[in-house]
Structure 1
């Protein structure tokens, strides 16, 4: 039995009808998908793009604000927003202007410009950490900070929370199963045993966290202040404060990954909750949708990083490579867009619009769940919220995963797509951006209401 309370045969009947509808109303996307299979692996430029709920890939022609349009001419309200990459809307006018400006003035030189200085000052002011570095993706930023942490502490083990999301860093591709750290299911091509240098413990479990740290070999804790990719899981009151206290007690560094949780506040949970990390990492929306990421550190960490560089230089007689940095990191285009994004787009006013809309959506989802007498719950964090197929919000990654009903989720997503609404794939998360309107929120709620009404009308739908 699934925790959703919906019978699988009803879900399949519902989904079969919706798959047929998609294929009928999207002939150009279907044709492009067939053409793409001859040149793109899996018919898409990144293989996971074929994992959406649609029976054939949906191809986009353009996107602006809270809307995108497909090649068949359909308009969509976008509550996915590139899974946070376009958290402030597609092609905000200041970013479009910045791209045009910098496009005529050089894209990459491997040298800094004034934009870099201003961006660093803005980041320090916003997040409360004084020193910053720039990379291209959050995966890169996390990878580099893990290297710094190991160099600074002389320890090898990275501690993460079960079900975490930190991009595609090898070290985080682990889960906690029966108290043991194991590789994530589905992991491809992993040559070494990650459990030797990574340790996973349940989120919100202080005892498990302390036991893992007490072994004295943890270089750093890498964590989201709230889990966002296994299904949203919020920290219990006081949990993040204990994470900080225990990391100091056992000599481990604290790295806060705000890539998704930046939806909470202009300074992320780090500033809103006064988390005081040693390092912070952030990618996706920081340059308004242009590939870019950053990591910041405290004064103490900056000094330790400098010492680590000196020691490495002495050991290699002045030659070598830190293993950090890529040629296009901190390129001129990304730096100009990040500066403009911080100054003009990622503003308190933007959050002042986004957060009340997300709260409106969360309240509407709860009313909808009650109306249909479903034992589901809603979790919200700033501009994002999610409905989950469990009676109470999960407290750990394992609880969130146990509430999955993949076929139901995909059927509901497909129903929404067929009616011009997109939410985040792989779970039921939504984001509101500065261009989202109250009417957009109400349309999502009304369409989901129609979906549930039709689904539950199928004989035997309720378990």
Structure 2
């Protein structure tokens, strides 16, 4: 008997329709970008696996486009396509490509030196602005959020004298080793797929499901957890929102059991002015944000409350002389401070966030309308300027559910189809960002493209 194609579904989509769409859209992409393909074939062989950074292989296109310029919320590639950019460097360019105040600051500082291991007047003003935007913290500057998280973890262990960091299953904190653990049958283990990992990470980390306060308390009660490291909202997979009372519970439990609370806002800075922490009045002991904080210049900041800083100063003064294990010589360079100052003062503004919020609400509503019309078993999540469609019913409660909701075959086909219709979204998941430079017509084009593709898949 022939197989009924309707019986073979992925995320509610018939596999025969999905395969037909994927093949057609891949062919369309490749045919339309011959210059990029020829250039890649001629010059990319010098890079490991043909890409300058390994995760570029995660883009689902038949071959990578080559960008010639980006401005505002638009990218132009070597084949002449102008693309509405909703990926925005996976948050690195959340405020748009080359914001005018940042570009001006770069030009100004470039004539005065790029790095010299000494502060500037911009550094002092950036520090003041950091406190104004994010709260009363004692700040340090890093080059990436991975570095910032790594240093914050080291301080937490130093001031508490405890070895372990609590992270949530499926979390994202860059490439920090301590966060590369997962839950399997209720036990913490090294994440599968880690390359070159020889250490048992469970000696320094414990993993709990997001939104599970009972699990958090059980881990903290053992007395060996130095800090909880968490995003306010789980991102970089299928987005998971905190349940009511979850963050209050984390704060209460960490205080009860003597652990620190580290909030990593590297992605959730999209939530609004001051990040999710500012919008929802969280009170972490340490605060981390990277990617877009300097308008796209590689920069991250991490700060600690005055009370935590006093504990750090005491511990640091008592340690033997030698390398602390924190800091890189290119961090806190004058170019970072020039861009930080410009971004905090002129780009990361209430007016810009208001624009981002309004268009993100429009995008979210438009995507939901399409999903409802075609009766797809999908849902949409939004946190400020960050919107994500998820190819599964929702809401999701934790990392385990987020992993099961991920549908790579559907997502790859949909991403290429949207790009062929002029819209770029993030490659690792279905995340879309609104920048201050994003226009209403760009949002409407993305909704229309999404409508066209889902109408075909769910006809």
Give TM-score scaled by structure 1 length.
Answer: 0.96
Task: From 63, 66, 72, give the equivalent of 1:56.
Answer: 63
Match of 1:330? 332
CA distance in 2, matches of 1:2, 1:393: 21
CA distance in 2, matches of 1:452, 1:5: 11
Aligned residues: 452
What are the within-5 Å matches in structure 2 for residues 59-458 of structure 1? 59-312=66-319, 316=320, 319-457=321-459
Match of 2:3? none
CA distance in 1, matches of 2:423, 2:133: 33
Structure 2 contact 289–302 (Cα < 8 Å) conserved: yes
CA distance in 2, matches of 1:448, 1:35: 34
Moved over 6 A (4+): none
- 1:2-56 deviations in Å (ceiling 9; x for gaps): 6611133322221111111111000011112212342011211101101101011
Gap runs ≥5 in structure 1: 458-463
CA distance in 2, matches of 1:38, 1:444: 34
Structure 1 contact 3–389 (Cα < 8 Å) conserved: no
CA distance in 2, matches of 1:119, 1:174: 35
CA distance in 1, matches of 2:162, 2:428: 35
What are the within-5 Å matches in structure 2 for residues 12-31 of structure 1? 12-31=19-38
Structure 2 contact 168–210 (Cα < 8 Å) conserved: yes
Structure 1 residue 437: deviation in Å? 1.2
CA distance in 2, matches of 1:76, 1:38: 26
Counterpart secondary structure, 2:326: coil
Structure 1 residue 455: deviation in Å? 2.5
Range 36-45 or range 413-422, more displaced = 36-45
CA distance in 2, matches of 1:84, 1:192: 31
CA distance in 2, matches of 1:108, 1:265: 31
- 1:328-374 deviations in Å (ceiling 9; x for gaps): 00101011010011000111111010001101111111100011111
Counterpart secondary structure, 1:222: strand
CA distance in 2, matches of 1:454, 1:392: 23
Structure 2 contact 133–344 (Cα < 8 Å) conserved: no
Counterpart secondary structure, 2:376: coil
Match of 2:4? none
CA distance in 2, matches of 1:130, 1:185: 36
CA distance in 2, matches of 1:50, 1:155: 39
Structure 1 residue 114: deviation in Å? 0.8
CA distance in 2, matches of 1:130, 1:247: 19
CA distance in 2, matches of 1:419, 1:44: 25
Structure 2 contact 376–458 (Cα < 8 Å) conserved: no
Counterpart secondary structure, 1:290: coil
Give TM-score scaled by structure 2 length.
Answer: 0.97
CA distance in 2, matches of 1:274, 1:445: 33
Gap runs ≥5 in structure 2: 1-7
CA distance in 1, matches of 2:241, 2:72: 28
Match of 1:461? none
CA distance in 2, matches of 1:364, 1:182: 40
Structure 1 contact 149–220 (Cα < 8 Å) conserved: yes
CA distance in 2, matches of 1:271, 1:148: 23
Counterpart secondary structure, 1:355: helix
Structure 1 contact 288–337 (Cα < 8 Å) conserved: yes
CA distance in 2, matches of 1:269, 1:421: 27
CA distance in 1, matches of 2:347, 2:205: 37
Match of 1:460? none
Structure 2 contact 10–410 (Cα < 8 Å) conserved: no
Aligned-residue Cα RMSD (Å) equals 1.1
Structure 1 contact 2–405 (Cα < 8 Å) conserved: no
CA distance in 1, matches of 2:125, 2:148: 20
Structure 1 contact 15–411 (Cα < 8 Å) conserved: yes
Match of 2:16? 9
